[in-house]
Amino acid sequence: MLEHDSHLFASITNAIAIHTTEQTPEIEANAVFNYEYDDFQIVYLSHKFAKPEVGEKPRIRIVLIKDDLVVLSLSALVSTEVMATFSFSQYDSIDKDYVSLGGTIEERPVSYETDVLIHFRGDWKHLEQGLKPSKIEIVGTMQQIHFGDIGPDYSNDRDDDIQLAWEQEQEYQRRRDEDLERWR
């Protein structure tokens, strides 16, 4: 029923992926400067069902049984990649305004646990037609993502400044060499 190539597994994977990308957890970070995050994205990578022992089948719990409804639950560990764009500023006490200090794009791998509820509806007398879920519900979200220590990324600006300084030095040496040639 939960083989990787089964329709049920594909439906669960799709439900987890959609649920994961639609989350809006609280973003936390440590920074020397004031920061705001501008853009935020969660990418679903994979999931694993909780198993009692390695090599065993996933543990399925029965949540509800009614005349025409059965709800089963599976626990899953979801792996994601979280990306956020941060912008930094510092308060300028002379101008009484915040001065932009640049930004950075940070990515972190984040895993979280969730429960997958699978609702089956139907007439249980006709199970030979196959058991198909009527609803797949994902319960559990990422509450908070902590990016750790962050700061402005000046690497591109620094590389451009180094390149410009090198080019100016090359131009200066070329002119000096030309001037020396004229005096000879």
12 burial class (0-12, 13-18, 19+ CB within 10 angstroms)? buried
Q: Which helix (H) or strand (E) holds 74?
A: strand 69-92
Could you report the per-residue pLDDT of 22-58, keeping only the tens digit for each? 999 999 999 999 999 988 999 999 999 887 777 677 7
Q: Is 173 left (phi over 0), alpha (psi -120 to 50) or beta?
A: alpha
- What's the confidence (pLDDT) of residue 158? 55
- Tokens 């390149």, residue? 163
Q: For the whole prediction, is pTM greater than 0.85?
A: no
Extents of the domains making up the chain? 7-151, 154-184
